Structure 1
């Protein structure tokens, strides 16, 4: 799930692997593989200072790159940051090692509600612990949406973008959606009252009909362009990731361009995703890998990461250490009633994936 902010801005289209030369390979060492620009500005240096363990730290830019590396060869990594929807595939392939709780004294800090949701992808929470997480929802230009739909615009509902009479009007100021069938089709299914992780082809026909009806009013499907377009007023609504919408909001405020952006988590429910810390089964340095995982479960370590990236973490004990502006923002930390409506996405059988791919191609082409 490519939702990491500088990846968008820099427009990287290929796998990126950047080793930090500051961390010369020396014993003891841990090899870590993470999304690009998805760590605190001093976290790695602090880890080496506090533990005496050096790092070899490489980065990637898509879940496909990560899975390809882990499933086709010995990667040489100890710890990897894997999205929750990748976990069932990695677990089934035997790529992950169970996490020994006795080596994770800081596991007690994990949010039990988040662990329960993550268990949908990692039964029993055996292989993964939450790192950062977020939601998929609606980012919108407050003034433009009000001008088009009035003061009673349903900004708290998927009706804003899935009711044709609303979308037809919003199409005048520009609507964008993620170019991601694995994320958009589940939302469409959920809106129709169908299982978001359905494997029933008839359910997908209904989602296809809905999206094809809406297609003339959607400016484009893209998983990066919407951030800058929303922040500079080129579009007025986007369906995407919580952190991306907050980035657009911050960019507009820093530019002083008068564009006011808000993020809505629809009341009907929405996808919640987790990026998790996992230990590879063939990790060459498992002890150091466990030390790195446990280090990131320390409240004082993970709180600055959330502040830096505008994503909540999976550590309940860290919440009070997160900046007030971040932890009190319901777009970052949804309230309990909103959390109860969130659902996780599941990997689907190949036959269903082919159905989704065909539908998405038709929807993007408008036919």
Structure 2
């Protein structure tokens, strides 16, 4: 994930209002983070949340969001930079940028040349998680597959797991690369045929998915 700072207010306005407007993913900060920040700085925070990148992107495209900080995933951040939806950082106000991991910032620079718009806040990868006891019970005597992705993409397994619940992220930028990986394709393929195969696979397992949530 990449935090994006878009400070547009003048210093006079900032002193008068002392409000920081943030749009972030739900469940991404501790319960006491905002209260502690407001107590320490005297700055009030207007904090709104969203559940997927598509919601954030639509709001940015609509314009006049009023947000100072938004937190897109890197794949969407590139679209937003190219579309002029993000304001450049004033690095003179961010002296601690020099303490950020240089390797991660170099990766960020591939999306945001010169690191002009984005600051890395957190990063991670998408994988599959299971409740071992429930999965084994749902499979009966069937042994667990060597490739855990089989549990989701192979109808032989996922059809048996619907009874205990199967969920996936509500984001094409997460689900399609996983399907491509399972099919032995490049997760970042630019071949339309690969995406047709991935889409067909996802349509086949769709009836067994009980929850879409990011």
Query: One fold, TM greater than 0.5?
Result: yes
TM-score in terms of structure 1 length: 0.45
The 1:176–1:97 alpha-carbon spacing in structure 2 relative to 1, beyond 3 Å, is closer
1:34 to 23, 30, 47: 23
- d(CA) in 1 for partners of 2:58 and 2:18? 24
Aligned-pair CA distance for 1:88: 1.5
Q: Is the 8 A contact 1:149 1:166 kept in 2?
A: no
Aligned-pair CA distance for 1:73: 2.9
Instruction: Spell out the pairing of 1:1-367 with structure 2 (5 A cutoff).
Output: 27=16, 29-35=18-24, 36-52=26-42, 54-62=43-51, 63-147=53-137, 148=139, 153-154=144-145, 157-171=148-162, 173-215=164-206, 218-220=208-210, 222-224=211-213
Q: Is the 8 A contact 2:167 2:212 kept in 1?
A: no
Aligned-pair CA distance for 1:27: 2.6
Alpha-carbon displacement from aligned partner over 1:191-244 (angstroms, at most 9, x marks no partner) = 22223233322112221333344445x243x324xxxxxxxxxxxxxxxx6xxx
- d(CA) in 1 for partners of 2:29 and 2:77? 20
Aligned-pair CA distance for 1:31: 2.7
The match for 1:282 is none
Q: Is the 8 A contact 2:23 2:67 kept in 1?
A: no
- d(CA) in 2 for partners of 1:56 and 1:164? 47
Alpha-carbon displacement from aligned partner over 1:147-174 (angstroms, at most 9, x marks no partner) = 4276962476323322343334444544
Q: Is the 8 A contact 2:38 2:45 kept in 1?
A: no
Query: Higher RCO, 1 or 2 (CA under 8 Å, sep at least 6)?
Result: 1
TM-score in terms of structure 2 length: 0.71
- d(CA) in 1 for partners of 2:48 and 2:76? 17
- d(CA) in 2 for partners of 1:177 and 1:191? 15
Alpha-carbon displacement from aligned partner over 1:116-142 (angstroms, at most 9, x marks no partner) = 443443334321112234432222121
Q: Secondary structure at the match of 1:32?
A: strand
Aligned-pair CA distance for 1:188: 0.6
The 1:81–1:207 alpha-carbon spacing in structure 2 relative to 1, beyond 3 Å, is closer
Cα RMSD between the aligned structures?
A: 3.3
The 1:65–1:166 alpha-carbon spacing in structure 2 relative to 1, beyond 3 Å, is closer
**Unaligned ranges ≥5, structure 1:** 2-24, 225-240, 242-367
Aligned-pair CA distance for 1:65: 4.0
Provide the aligned length of Structure 1 versus Structure 2. Answer: 199
- d(CA) in 1 for partners of 2:171 and 2:140? 27
The 1:93–1:149 alpha-carbon spacing in structure 2 relative to 1, beyond 3 Å, is same
Aligned-pair CA distance for 1:95: 2.5
